[in-house]
């Protein structure tokens, strides 16, 4: 749940909204923008569905499991709707875009289906339901998302996500994203800089630039602009300490941009660049546009230019036709490249994608076993790599009080490690140096060396 940092309307007895988000960072940012708009419109954000006049789910379609979760949440609201028929139930985002009015058929108690490019019109759509009744469908793909951001409305003052490119033109064979998020549209450097300046003036120290395929940033904008140009401009903004960007596509990540980044001191050494598979045959069927060897060389080049670069990857196991030998090539890639961390997913066929036409012929037990094997391997690698940091000092941006160990602070290193240490509450939002004493595969533990 996201709360306003500087709430002005919250004690007004007006309308209440419960909002839950599934899926990626892009979705979390859309949630933030939507809630900013609703708050401006007088809505109060509440923590439970029982207190809410409006219940909204911002959904994800990337795997079947993500959709099943939302349908089960929606199903659970049937009785609440019978008791309080005036409550508005809405489905937003990727699943709304993909399933459209089929959602009303399956869940007749849903009032609103609002796609990925329409959430800027949420207040008006909710008003329409209040005056004209249920089953409002808003999934126009040609809308341009244009939300004037309420910069004070963020989960944390020191960090912010900023979208720089929406949509994806790549059409990887397994992926539903281009269908639900539409074609690529880049924002101008001026527009992004203005937003980041405004965030800085409200205390933001770290921005994470978002895009489904961040490396094609600039395509379609006048003047041959690329990600390197944007990062160079943002790197020059006073008051901004850290810049991150996700997600990178190996085929579109140019060496030119890597060289540019190596000279930008505010750009963090963390690169999330999904390989998806280590097998050339599978990569070809996935339509990824590169070979395993190309990927390996790209990572090696990146590490030559930026030795401290932490590289993270995603892998899909059990793609149609993945043999044991194909899978072993993925294992070898993971062993050789020693990623910082990896997200591993079991292949999930998505209707409407090219891969869904292929037989989903890897049995679920095999997918599960491959998934577990890769996760276990990555865990060992992460632990070994993290152990190398014992006795070293790392810089952390303090994010807040640790969730797992009470009275301790937690933050993130430039390489995106979670770091937990004892410190004072007033350090939250500051950059501090932490000397690492203990590690697990996921977390570093230490003591303050100095506050910078």
Q: Collect all residues with Cβ–Cβ distance below 8 Å to 200 and sequence separation of at least 6.
A: 237, 238, 239, 240
Is residue 445 close enough to count as binding ligand 5AD by CB under 6 A? no
50-89 mask for ligand SF4 (x: CB under 6 A)?
A: ----------xxx---------------------------
Tokens of 448: 């303050």
Q: What share of the chain is helix, strand, coil (3-state, %, to 5)?
A: 35, 25, 40
Q: Reduced to 3 states, what is the DSSP secondary structure of residue 86? A: coil
Question: Rounded to an integer, what distance in angstroms lies between the CA atom of residue 286 and that of residue 268?
Answer: 30
- Residues found in the chain: 452
171 to 190, contacts with ligand SF4 by CB under 6 A? 176-177, 180-181
Minimum CB distance to ligand 5AD smaller for 290 or for 347:
347
By CB under 6 A, name the one of 4, 178, 218, 274 that touches ligand 5AD.
Answer: 274
Minimum CB distance to ligand 5AD smaller for 316 or for 439:
316
Maximum C-alpha span of the chain: 65
Query: What is the closest distance, in whole angstroms, from the C-beta atom of residue 60 to ligand SF4 in the complex?
Result: 3
Query: What is the closest distance, in whole angstroms, from the C-beta atom of residue 93 to ligand 5AD in the complex?
Result: 14
Q: Reduced to 3 states, what is the DSSP secondary structure of residue 352? A: coil
How many chain residues interact with ligand SF4 (CB under 6 A)? 12
Minimum CB distance to ligand 5AD smaller for 27 or for 413:
27
Query: What is the closest distance, in whole angstroms, from the C-beta atom of residue 412 to ligand 5AD in the complex?
Result: 20
90-129 mask for ligand SF4 (x: CB under 6 A)?
A: ----x-----------------------------------
Question: Rounded to an integer, what distance in angstroms lies between the CA atom of residue 176 and that of residue 349?
Answer: 9
Query: What is the closest distance, in whole angstroms, from the C-beta atom of residue 252 to ligand SF4 in the complex?
Result: 17
Query: What is the closest distance, in whole angstroms, from the C-beta atom of residue 26 to ligand SF4 in the complex?
Result: 5
347-386 mask for ligand 5AD (x: CB under 6 A)?
A: xx-x------------------------------------
Q: Collect all residues with Cβ–Cβ distance below 8 Å to 336 and sequence separation of at least 6.
A: 296
The residue written with tokens 């963090």 in the block is 268
Interacting partner of 119 out of ligand 5AD, ligand SF4, none (Cβ under 5 to 8 A depending on kind): none
Crossing angle for the helix pair 122-132 and 25-40, to the nearest 10 degrees: 60
By CB under 6 A, name the one of 2, 4, 19, 24 that touches ligand SF4.
Answer: 24
By CB under 6 A, name the one of 62, 282, 334, 436 that touches ligand 5AD.
Answer: 62
What residue ranges in 4-121 does DSSP mark as E strands?
15-21, 43-45, 54-59, 88-93, 112-114
Is residue 175 close enough to count as binding ligand 5AD by CB under 6 A? yes
Q: Reduced to 3 states, what is the DSSP secondary structure of residue 178? A: helix
Q: Collect all residues with Cβ–Cβ distance below 8 Å to 64 and sequence separation of at least 6.
A: 348, 349, 350
How many chain residues interact with ligand 5AD (CB under 6 A)? 12
Of the candidates 4, 290, 19, the residue with the CA atom closest to the CA atom of residue 156? 4
Which residues lie near ligand SF4 (CB under 6 A)?
Answer: 23-24, 26-27, 60-62, 94, 176-177, 180-181
- Interface residues toward ligand 5AD, by CB under 6 A: 62-63, 174-175, 274, 276, 314, 316, 345, 347-348, 350
């Amino acid at each position: 749940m996201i709360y306003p940092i500087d709430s002005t309307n919250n004690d007004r007895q007006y309308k209440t909204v419960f909002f839950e988000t599934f899926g990626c960072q892009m979705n979390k940012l859309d949630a933030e923008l939507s809630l900013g708009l609703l708050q401006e419109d007088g809505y109060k954000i509440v923590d439970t569905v029982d207190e809410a006049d409006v219940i909204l789910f911002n959904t994800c379609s990337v795997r079947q499991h993500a959709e099943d979760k939302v349908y089960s949440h929606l199903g659970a609201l049937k009785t609440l709707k019978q008791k309080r028929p005036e409550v508005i139930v809405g489905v937003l985002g990727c699943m709304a875009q993909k399933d459209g009015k089929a959602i009303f058929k399956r869940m007749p108690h849903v009032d609103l289906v609002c796609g990925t490019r329409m959430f800027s019109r949420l207040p008006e759509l909710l008003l329409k339901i209040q005056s004209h009744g249920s089953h409002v469908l808003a999934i126009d793909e040609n809308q341009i998302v244009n939300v004037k951001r309420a910069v004070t409305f963020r989960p944390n003052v020191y960090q912010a996500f900023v979208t720089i490119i929406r949509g994806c033109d790549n059409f990887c064979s397994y992926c539903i994203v281009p269908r639900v998020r539409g074609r690529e549209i880049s924002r101008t450097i001026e527009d992004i800089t203005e937003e980041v300046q405004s965030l800085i003036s409200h205390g933001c120290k770290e921005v994470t630039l978002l895009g489904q395929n961040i490396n094609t940033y600039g395509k379609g904008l006048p003047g041959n602009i690329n990600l390197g140009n944007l990062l160079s401009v943002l790197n020059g903004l006073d008051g901004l300490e850290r810049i991150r960007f996700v997600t990178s596509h190996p085929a579109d990540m140019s060496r030119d941009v890597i060289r540019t980044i190596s000279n930008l001191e505010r750009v963090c050494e963390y690169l999330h660049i999904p390989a998806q598979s280590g097998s050339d045959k599978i990569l070809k069927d996935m339509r990824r546009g590169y070979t395993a060897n190309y990927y390996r060389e790209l990572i090696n080049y990146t590490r030559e230019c930026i030795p401290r670069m932490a590289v993270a990857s995603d892998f899909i196991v059990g793609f149609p036709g993945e043999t044991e030998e194909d899978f072993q090539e993925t294992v070898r890639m993971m062993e050789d490249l020693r990623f910082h961390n990896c997200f591993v997913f079991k292949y999930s066929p998505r209707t409407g994608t090219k891969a869904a036409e292929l037989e989903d012929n890897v049995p679920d037990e095999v997918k599960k076993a491959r998934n577990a094997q890769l996760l276990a391997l990555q865990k060992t690698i992460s632990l070994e790599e993290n152990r190398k940091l014992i006795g070293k000092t790392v810089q952390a941006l303090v994010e807040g009080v640790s969730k797992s160990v009470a009275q301790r602070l937690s933050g993130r290193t430039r390489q995106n490690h979670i770091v937990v240490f004892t410190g004072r509450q007033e350090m939250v939002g500051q950059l501090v140096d932490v000397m690492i004493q203990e590690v697990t595969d996921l977390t570093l533990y230490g003591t303050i060396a100095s506050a910078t």
